[in-house]
Structure 1
């Protein structure tokens, strides 16, 4: 039986899972694939660290260069989680003709063009299913299953940490800070949760999905990113009264002119929509193609086992590529799209929360500003309060551009009757 030698760079949580499951499911893989996947060498920083899995000492090296210098290793797995070092490793492997499997979403989002130009030059595939949504096979689906479709939109809950925090705020009435501490104690948030809660973990994944769907690498400075740090328990409560749930949503769309928008931000989603019911650390993606119509993907978006499952699937495909070389090296550029819509021109509906004096004429002043900017009001909600006291005023607004709303917020915030900085959250009704 044919054997394919694998070099594993990095043995953190996911790397340990890959080695464990390759070992435990060796017979299953052999029967299904018709060949053997053999881990020949593992590069790790600290050989003494307990990783919860027994590794034969003869496989271990502390230098990832050893994986590149071994001519018998045909496939390398990059799970180091760095940027500069990981990029050097991947480009070095590609130059040597070794197939690369990676789950490094930040690296792909920021250096995807460079990586795939090298892959095309050297005719070496790069596989990266584990970079987006853990064990959900979304990369393979967009790249292969939907190859005949114009992808018209992707809406994704693609960060489990933020989704867990927002879920706990709904279920238990916790504030953001309390829910974050709970997520850290449960192991769902890192000690430094910045990339998760500020939206950039989801943004890196959205860039990868958009680039695959539309055939060009989307620059990270052309997307809009906002995190969940400013969401309050009151926002959660008011959204529910209006029939919405709040989710950190990645939104990717294309219009008839070939312009695309990529944005990640807290979003009010109608409670009747299927994405509103995705709770805890789970991920979900709704993909709409012009032929296939609406599709939904759901599952665990992170963690050792789901992510390991995607890495092993890529290893199997990498070995198959060694047997039958292919012309698609993981990313196929094309010229049907190529322009990102400026953020000020992106159109959305909006939830607007104001803190205002409870006195006559306040709503008229706010409505006057919105009307002067051609922004319509869909609904207004104001809890009862004592006259003259500061109370919340909630408005749901019809479609407007980001630029229109910024102007409106500046003018409304300057009103004497408005006592705190206005808070805006986008609304997605999937129309």
Structure 2
């Protein structure tokens, strides 16, 4: 027997949650096959079998928490052909191979009208074999019921269907009650990642002395550049010219001028970073993740756009690595993609600054004594007042505004 253990999950991550089993107990596994998937605080990882054989001794079900190094299954040497070829009847109801066959008989338990309502969960919709292999406790219960079903099967095939019309009013009332409860409220357990996000956001608010300052940016110049250059840019670099490259360059320029916004607090010390690794918030089905654009100060506009596009794609596919999610020095988040006009971003600890972008909206503005309609964007800077003074934060945001409104200066300052 070879043990299947939870692998190292990354720096500071000591446990995970089983989110999916790719192999059922009793199935053949080849060396290099993924047997299950683990959800951690940051990414999902596959547990790989190092040996070939048959999956046995599964001890954890979907949703269970496991620790690094913990044994969650074993691999029995062999191909699994012998066990699958053996007749189910000769092995008895206690073996995994005979359990599905035994439960296939129309026993009273299988025909009971309340079974669908009682098991109205995602697991219940799966095939019986997958359901049994998802939980050791369910497998044990199913084996015990399977023994009863085999011995009672000859006497009950006809009786089970006849038991349905005994109380016609009860089955009719049950679905209605279930539907009413389902429509009015639903209890859904938060994923491990969502729990971690919630915990860290609350910690950031309780730990940092967080304040937010606001300003607005005239986006006329950037929109003009994008209109004139977007086709040529796309043809040359294979990626669109978006707003993020301009704001990333502007943020880097402002961080160089105000270094305490590119820092973190460790005890009584400030760690001032001399590198500019900009986190870019990406929304996924499982919550917000912040992959990092490394050394953004040395990257071209095209390189920044390509890297952000690549990181965002992998984030939504759940393929980001732990390295890509760690070590950022400052974060940019764009609520404008969802239509937000103004918001207060929360710090991504241990960082002490985060810039919030918002929706571009045309508004009447006074320009050189005249009222003109301009495409305007509100921007927000949340900062940790423990090491960043209010005047620093205001001047930082003003510099971002000035650099964005004068894109040519980004070539010098960014």
Larger Rg: 2
The verdict on a shared fold, with TM-score over 0.5 as the criterion, is no
Instruction: Give the TM-score taking structure 1 as reference length.
Output: 0.28
